[in-house]
Amino acid sequence: MLAIPAIDLRDGACVQLVGGDYAKEAVRLDDPLEVAYKWVAAGFTRLHVVDLDAATGKGSNRELVRDIVTRAGVPAQVGGGVRDRESVERLLDDGADRVVIGTRGVEDPEWLTGQSERAPGRIVLAADVRGRRVVTRGWAKETARDVLDLIRELEQLPLAGLLVTAVHAEGKMQGTDLNLMADVADLSPWPVIASGGVGSMNDLRALEDRGLSAVVLGMALYTDALDPRVVAEEFAE
């Protein structure tokens, strides 16, 4: 299993939110590029970059995203507000290894099909989940769709992976939703990336035991609950 540090961008800074709540910003670092360099120096081989302003329709950190993906020295998967073809193509042109599509991919499967067929193996579908229900629009809108039903609907698409964020656990470091992640990994035809709630090495090992391909790490790294070098060494693939 591969561990991937998250770099969440808001107002030009690198931040961490608790429980997906934009009013609960627990970490703010003013130089996201330096943060990227730090994670690469620790031994991580991929980055997960999210433009939170774009995701919520409150702005854009495009130039900063481009700096990170072109200068960090490792592949990066990038998401946040990717809701049209031009955004997908722009991110790929700017150097993103993979593009993470959330809201529109969930709400418009036909559009997602087109994007994945134009860039096979380059699109990661982000299914943000509260409980078992998929949420969209920067975690603000809850749908009636169960994440397992979403997988069944889209299983023929040539996606690079499925990113499942347990929003109800995000930023709390109280453990992941293992039952959810195991069920998703069992059903998904694509590699599954877990996110939300990791607070210890045991949490990481439990995800690996349940067949997850990768995990995105945020708060636990930013608060030193996890030693980045130890994580990067054990979870390198």
Q: Distance between CA 68 and CA 101 in Å, rounded?
A: 19
What are the structure tokens assigned to 62, written together?
A: 């495009």
Using CA atoms, how far apart are residues 87 and 80, in angstroms rounded to an integer? 10
Residue 237 counted as domain residue: no
Q: Which domain holds residue 65?
A: 2-231
**Measured CA distances, 190 to 155, 157, 237 (Å):** 8, 9, 16
**CB crowding 200-234: b at 16 or more within 10 Å, else e:** ebebbebbbebebbbbbbbbbbbeeebebeebbee
Catalytic residue among 51, 128, 177, 203: 128
Confirm whether 236 is domain-assigned.
no
Q: What is the pLDDT of residue 130?
A: 85
Quote the tokens at residue 222: 């930013």
Residue 60 belongs to a domain with what CATH number?
3.20.20.70
Q: Is 97 a catalytic residue?
A: no
Give the number of other Cβ atoms within 10 Å of residue 86's Cβ.
9
Q: Which helix (H) or strand (E) holds 149?
A: helix 147-154
CA distances from 155 to 45, 48, 116, 190, 196 (A): 28, 23, 12, 8, 23
Domain membership of residue 55 (yes or no) is yes
When divided into structural domains, the chain yields a total of: 1
Catalytic (active site) residue 128: yes
Q: How far, in Å, CA of 219 to CA of 196, rounded? A: 9
- Could you say which of 8, 51, 53, 203 is catalytic? 8
Strand partners, 216: 4, 195
Query: What is the residue-level pLDDT of the chain in tens, covering all 237 positions?
Result: 999 999 999 999 999 877 667 777 788 999 999 999 999 999 999 999 999 999 888 899 999 999 999 999 999 999 998 999 999 999 999 999 999 998 899 989 999 999 999 999 999 999 989 877 787 665 555 665 789 999 999 999 999 999 999 876 665 676 788 999 999 999 999 999 999 889 999 999 999 999 999 999 999 999 999 999 999 999 987
How far is Cα 136 from Cα 204, in angstroms, rounded to an integer? 26
With the CA atoms of 132, 22, 215 and 28 taken in that order, what torsion angle do they form, in degrees rounded to the nearest 10?
Answer: -170
